[in-house]
Amino acid sequence: MEILRITTAGSVDDGKSTLIGRLLYETDSLKTDQVETIEAKSKSLGYDYIDFSLATDGLLTEREQGITIDVSHLYFSTPKRRFIIADAPGHVEYTRNMVTGASNVNVAIILLDARKGVMEQTKRHLYITQLMGIKHLIFTINKMDLIDYDEQQFNSIVTEIKKLVDQYDWNPELDFIPVSALKGDNVIRKSNQMSWYNGTDLLNLIKSLTITEDVSGDGVLQVQYVIRPKTEKFHDYRGFAGKVKSGVFQKGDQIEVFPSGQKTTVKSIEKYGQNKDEVVEGENATLLLEDEIDASRGNAIVKTKHRLKTDKQLQAKVCWMQSSDLNPNSKYWLQQGVNKILVKVNDIASKIDWEAWKSVPTNRLTMNDIGAVNLQLAQPLIYAPYSSNKSLGAFILIDAQTNNTAGVGFIL
């Protein structure tokens, strides 16, 4: 059974929680006791129908206010596929949560209210999904029941979205589904209210879409932990354990350790104590090397033939996530995978003006801003642009005073 990771985005009241609640309910992922709780709560609140958002809004304040304020993780399965949904809130002020929710997914489901069409929030969702390089977008045009399942209205929304996507140098797969989350139209089965719609329902689409795994990147393993058993049997054992960040490693590969530059060969590959001939992107592995060389946590073991860059100066797009501003000349910890380096923000070149929809000059980033910055690193970093290698091109910035995750960056 494969896993498909999905994020959901929508504006306030687009009915996102209702849509997810219905998916959970109709795939029997909500159990009787949970449904009973929701039913009783809906009734006590005086609602005419079962409010499925009560299943996904986990916090008391959310249920009180009827809004989602934090990323929630939800799980459901069909016989052939497991789904993990990162449900991100729709409010403007919680844009950072959408970036978070979108960072680990194959697909984004973006909701729109059929009565309102493309909103400012929709444009922002599009901007974020293209920034994060999401390859498949499903637009669900919700509340079709409230516009009498009108085909023209649906088509004009589709045209408008396609135009917006065309502005970017980005070619995601696009799907558009007219739904009513409340009534269940086109959610888990095709609606008979919209004979003009030739596509499939949402559940069937996510069940059947192809999940691509790409291992064509440069071979890189970041050392997480050096295994040294110090026992009689494994006296001289030194295994470099970590995740293959990209590409493939095989026994006998020529490698180089970064930053020391020492070169050697992969003597053997182990995985949880078992020998392996090959490990690929996303897998954990323990590399044993031919020569005794020095490598510690955060160092990269790289196959000698690669296209990666090393530099102490970086240009990146940053999405700011904490309430205190990002100012020039401030210092942070940069964490790329497991590798941490002190960094100074040299200057902030520009940020997106969400109202004017253009890049404007600025000297600070406030929470939920996305801007371009120049960084000066204390040590050189081995990296690739985010657009060509997500795991070596992304980093977080940690506030050295508060230790909070202050922002996320995408190397240009």
Least Å distance between CB 395 and other proteins? Answer: 7
**CA atoms of 151 and 121, how far apart (whole Å):** 23
CB of 89 closer than 8 Å to CB of 68: yes
Least Å distance between CB 147 and other proteins? Answer: 32
Residue that has been written with the tokens 């209702």 in this structure: 18
> Which residue's CB is nearer to other proteins, number 136 or number 245?
245
Least Å distance between CB 407 and other proteins? Answer: 9
User: Which string of DSSP letters, residue by residue, matches 223-275?
Assistant: EEEEE---SSTTTT--EEEEEEEESEEETT-EEEEETT--EEEEEEEEETTEE
> Which residue's CB is nearer to other proteins, number 42 or number 103?
103
- Strands 339-353, 107-113: pairing is unpaired
CB of 303 closer than 8 Å to CB of 289: no
Exposed (0-12), middle (13-18) or buried (19+): which is 193, by Cβ within 10 Å? Answer: middle
> Which residue's CB is nearer to other proteins, number 103 or number 376?
103
Torsional sign, CA 373, 379, 380, 384: negative
> Which residue's CB is nearer to other proteins, number 73 or number 163?
73
> Which residue's CB is nearer to other proteins, number 16 or number 143?
16
Least Å distance between CB 38 and other proteins? Answer: 10
**CA atoms of 216 and 287, how far apart (whole Å):** 20
Q: Output Rg (C-alpha) for the chain, integer angstroms.
A: 24
> Which residue's CB is nearer to other proteins, number 35 or number 147?
35
> Which residue's CB is nearer to other proteins, number 103 or number 153?
103
Angle between helices 120-131 and 95-102 (to 10 degrees): 40
Least Å distance between CB 72 and other proteins? Answer: 5
Least Å distance between CB 12 and other proteins? Answer: 18
Coil, strand, or helix at residue 341? Answer: strand
**CA atoms of 330 and 346, how far apart (whole Å):** 8
> Which residue's CB is nearer to other proteins, number 337 or number 380?
337
| Residues of the shown chain interacting with other proteins in the complex, contacts defined by CB under 8 A | 1-3, 31-34, 37, 41, 55-60, 63, 69-75, 77, 82, 84, 96-97, 99-100, 103-104, 213, 224-225, 227-231, 233-234, 237, 241-243, 270, 272-273, 282-284, 297, 321, 333, 335-338, 390-391, 394-396, 398, 403-405, 408
Least Å distance between CB 100 and other proteins? Answer: 4
**CA atoms of 160 and 189, how far apart (whole Å):** 26
Least Å distance between CB 274 and other proteins? Answer: 8
Per the DSSP assignment, residues forming a β-bridge with 178 are 141
